[in-house]
Amino acid sequence: MPNTGKPSQDCHLCRQRRVKCDLARPACQRCTKYGAVCPGYRDQQALVFRNADPSTLKRRRKRAAAGGAQPAPASRADPSSSASGGGDERSQALVTGAAALGRQVAEHWTAQSVPLLLDVYSTMDFLRHVYTANHSSSGPLLWSAHIFTRTYVLNVRYPTHASAGLRGQAQRELAMFMGKTLRAVNRALAAPGGACRDDILATIWLLANHEVLAGTLGRQQPVNTWQLHARGLYSILQARGTAALLTSAGRTAFWPAFNMVQLQALILNTACPAETDEWLGVCERRLFEGEALTLRIAQYIASVCAVQARVMGHLRAADGARSASDEYLSLRQALLDADETFAAYVLTESPLAPDAGAGADMTMDVYMRNVQCAAVIKSHHQMQMLCNLLTHYAPCPVPHATLLAHRRHALRRVYESAQAIIDSLPAAMAPLARTTVLQSPGVLFDAMRLIFPLFLVAHVPCTRQEHKEVALRALTFIGTEVGIRQALVGGGPTMSLPREARAPLTLDSLAEPPWVSSPPPDYTVLGF
């Protein structure tokens, strides 16, 4: 007689290995821990076997009729009611049980791609709206979700335990979905109005984030795909124009894409797109709720990028010192004006302003504040290099002592901003260091947004050694434990700059300003 007890609720692999399953959904953590893809759980109702004796079936039907219940469906308990009619009831029941056993009950991993993606980006209303509006079973938006999720599973769920065979299969799947996605995007962009489709914008944004997850940002050979995606976002924003910025939905789609375009400008030492002032002007004239901080930081980054592009042009030029000597004061003033404008916003308009009121949110968005600090570090590091270069140029109209004083100011701004990023780590890293990190995919997005600011603190030459060590520990934790490969990428190739830009002509004994706050604490207590 078949087993009439309650079947095990464990997943298929745990039952096969005869180990205890934690019954977590959609995948058990024991499978995840050992680098296996959890095959899922069986249908408990379909797999309950019962005594198939004819007399037992008759008694069961009589009890159901006496209780006013309908007879069970033919496919489950009463095979005698099938179209064939009559026949051996025992044989029919056994056939039904065998069919239930042969049923495929484990879902393919692609069935969970979109739910997992939306869990990672739970704070991105734009993505949720786009996926809700697109119910197609295929297309670039769905395929990009498969690409991101497959990389997430490889990197985050079992970053060190995945077998070579599993990775090879995953790479083939990723290549297939990437090819489908890019072909579909190209077809959409070639069609009238294709560039204005929200799903195309979201697809390219996801592909760019996938490159960060995979760790390709900074690779130059054969092509830097992250930069290609960032340029693609800029082209789409150009095609959408200012009309898309007049609605709340259009603005929600604009900011994630534009932030990535600005991040590319910061990384490549170029000015922001020519349309930046026009786009930000439209946003400023009609601000939606919660946009003020994002707008002010975008304006600050635009000003900083314009300065850094000119500074790097002088540093790279053969006659950099001579060409920069006449323009130096205007460059420095432009950077000071950007700093003062943002500082005035913080003091008078931001949630941290003294007159904000008791009910105001007294914390600024950690990610956006860290991006602003990263822009400060990069721009003032370049400015102190320009000061170094000019101290070696005797005909410079700016006095040597003044250049050293300006250099000290630039270094102080670097130290202050690096300190602010380090100070944000306890709150930012605590959710990542918990043992439940694998149960909360949403922490992945928060970790991705820490990488660029921490990278600058760790690799910009003029940051303090104490800050570098803390930033490197945090990046190593994010790369190995959270699974974001970009965090493990080094400083990259050294930029070809004049030797005179590395240090001033004479040693500046006052170049090391005092700490702006207490020294960084020992963050090893957080687990990284």
Instruction: Walk along the chain (528 residues) and give the pLDDT tens digit of each residue.
Output: 444 456 678 887 788 777 888 887 777 877 776 667 777 776 554 444 444 455 665 666 666 566 544 444 433 333 333 333 444 444 444 444 444 434 444 456 678 888 888 888 888 888 888 988 876 667 899 999 989 888 887 776 555 445 556 667 777 888 888 999 999 999 998 999 888 999 999 999 999 999 998 888 766 555 788 999 999 999 999 999 999 999 999 999 999 999 999 999 999 999 999 999 999 999 999 999 889 999 999 999 999 999 999 999 999 998 889 999 999 999 999 999 999 999 999 888 765 555 544 333 334 478 888 999 999 999 999 999 999 999 999 999 999 999 999 999 999 999 999 999 999 988 888 777 664 444 466 778 888 889 999 999 999 999 999 999 999 999 998 888 788 888 888 766 566 788 999 989 887 766 665 545 555 555 554 555
- Given a contact cutoff of 8 angstroms between Cβ atoms, the answer to whether 504 and 402 are in contact is no
| Cis previous bond, 493, omega within 30 | no
What per-residue confidence (pLDDT) applies to 70? Answer: 44
DSSP state, residue 460: S
Q: Give me the helices (H) in 349-464, please.
A: 366-391, 400-423, 425-433, 442-448, 451-459
DSSP string, 273-328: PTTHHHHHHHHHHTPPTT-HHHHHHHHHHHHHHHHHHHHHHHHHSTTHHHHHHTTH
What per-residue confidence (pLDDT) applies to 128? Answer: 87
Residue matched to tokens 């008694």: 59
Instruction: Read off the tokens for 521.
Output: 């604490």
Q: What are phi and psi of 5, to 5 degrees?
A: -80, 175
**Is the Cα torsion angle 104, 105, 109, 115 positive or negative in sign?**
positive
Rounded-to-integer distance, Cα 304 and Cα 173, Å: 41
Nearest to 528 by CA among 416, 447, 414, 410: 447
| pTM reported for the whole predicted model | 0.75
Nearest to 249 by CA among 333, 125, 150: 125
**Is the Cα torsion angle 4, 9, 13, 17 positive or negative in sign?**
negative
Residue matched to tokens 């959890």: 38
Rounded-to-integer distance, Cα 31 and Cα 434, Å: 19
